[in-house]
Amino acid sequence: MTNSVFRKDGTAQGVAKQRLMETLAKPVQRIIDDPYADRFVVGAGLIKLMGHKLSVWVTQQFSPGFHEHLIARTRFIDDLVRSSAVDGIEQYVILGAGYDLRAHRLDLPPAMKIFEVDQAEVQERKRTKLPKEIPNSDNVTYVSVDFNRQSISERLLAAGFDQTKSTIFTLEGVSQYITKEAVAETVKDMAALTPEVSSMFFISYVDERLNDDPKACFGQGYPNAVKRAETIKRLSAKVGEPWISFYTAEEMETLLNQSGFLLKENQSLADLNDVYFAPVGRALREDQIFNLEKFVIAKS
């Protein structure tokens, strides 16, 4: 690890920071609400002092649309998990959960069993920072796994995963950090875990064009798109978690199909800008669209 502040959780902290910034917005304008995010962010006090508008403005100077992209991703999955709960899905597996607090902040039904999967060190830190009293804590089981080296299904089964229950799996903001073999193996394993019941898989992935045609990953007129693409990759590597895997839309669909999942939706900030930000007066301009990550829902 390159930096003692970021002990394997640099990127998890980075996403929690954007959730904290969004939570500070006025309730009528915010897209998501994560009342626990501040616990996981170094410098949370300063961000709270700055407030929503100023902290988002500072982020925009570095990369327009970066904040909104992560918040759109969070909201998209929040909506999916909530609607899955309404549809009666019985289990929820959060792969690479990091500092995701959906288990506690979405008011999910007590009957839905939740498994959080991540590296042991990240989970240990998370558990020490969670409040003692937090909603739904009895329903959450922590399963520590290194995706690159260990079988998730074995660990899930040992932790009480029930193969007869309909399940939603989410792999949010992770596929770029692990090998393509590990992603394919994970999707295959999750399909094999639920052969007789319906399951859903959410996966986000970084567009392959970020490497060979970076401008295609941003809105028309986005400032310094090529340079920004390089900076984003460099910063991830700097906190010890480099982006190593990129996909085309066809490649991702094939990967899912090979495990029996059918792609239902493939969205990005360009699509969700109108859905989430425009209605609250926060629509981004075309030259602020940060479009390099795609959000996919697939069903078995």
Using the rule CB under 6 A, is 80 a contact of ligand SAM?
no
Residue nearest to ligand SAM (CB): 98
Using the rule CB under 6 A, is 181 a contact of ligand SAM?
no
Using the rule CB under 6 A, is 32 a contact of ligand SAM?
no
Total residues binding ligand SAM (CB under 6 A) = 21
The minimum distance between CB 2 and ligand SAM, in angstroms, equals 15
**From 25, 168, 178, 255, residue interacting with ligand SAM (rule: CB under 6 A):** 178
Using the rule CB under 6 A, is 123 a contact of ligand SAM?
no
Which region among 22-30, 96-104, 157-165, 256-264 touches ligand SAM (by CB under 6 A)?
A: 96-104
For residue 219, give the amino acid letter.
G
Among residues 93 and 174, whose Cβ is nearest to ligand SAM?
174
The minimum distance between CB 47 and ligand SAM, in angstroms, equals 16
- Concatenated DSSP letters of the chain: ---TT-SS-HHHHHHHHHHHHHHTS-TTT-S---TTGGGG-TTHHHHHHHHHHHHHHHHHHH-TTHHHHHHHHHHHHHHHHHHHHHTT--EEEEET-TT--HHHHS---TTSEEEEEE-HHHHHHHHHHS-SS-TTGGGEEEEE--TTTS-HHHHHHHTT--TTS-EEEEE-S-TTTS-HHHHHHHHHHHHHHSSSS-EEEEEEEEBTHHHH-GGGGB-TT-TTHHHHHHHHHHHHHHTT------B-HHHHHHHHHHTTPEEEEEE-HHHHIIIIIGGGT-PPPGGG-B--EEEEEEE-
Residues 6+ apart with CB under 8 A from 270: 219, 289, 291
* Listed residue (231, 241, 129, 237) closest to 174, CA to CA: 241
Which region among 11-19, 22-30, 153-161, 193-201 touches ligand SAM (by CB under 6 A)?
A: 11-19
Among residues 2 and 287, whose Cβ is nearest to ligand SAM?
2
The minimum distance between CB 220 and ligand SAM, in angstroms, equals 28
Which region among 116-124, 191-199, 255-263, 280-288 touches ligand SAM (by CB under 6 A)?
A: 116-124
Among residues 3 and 224, whose Cβ is nearest to ligand SAM?
3
Among residues 44 and 197, whose Cβ is nearest to ligand SAM?
44
Residues between 133 and 172 with contacts to ligand SAM, criterion CB under 6 A: 145-148, 172
The minimum distance between CB 23 and ligand SAM, in angstroms, equals 13
Among residues 91 and 186, whose Cβ is nearest to ligand SAM?
186
Sign of CA dihedral 99, 144, 124, 141: positive
Using the rule CB under 6 A, is 243 a contact of ligand SAM?
no
Residue ranges binding ligand SAM (CB under 6 A): 8, 11-12, 15, 96-100, 118-119, 122, 145-148, 172-174, 177-178
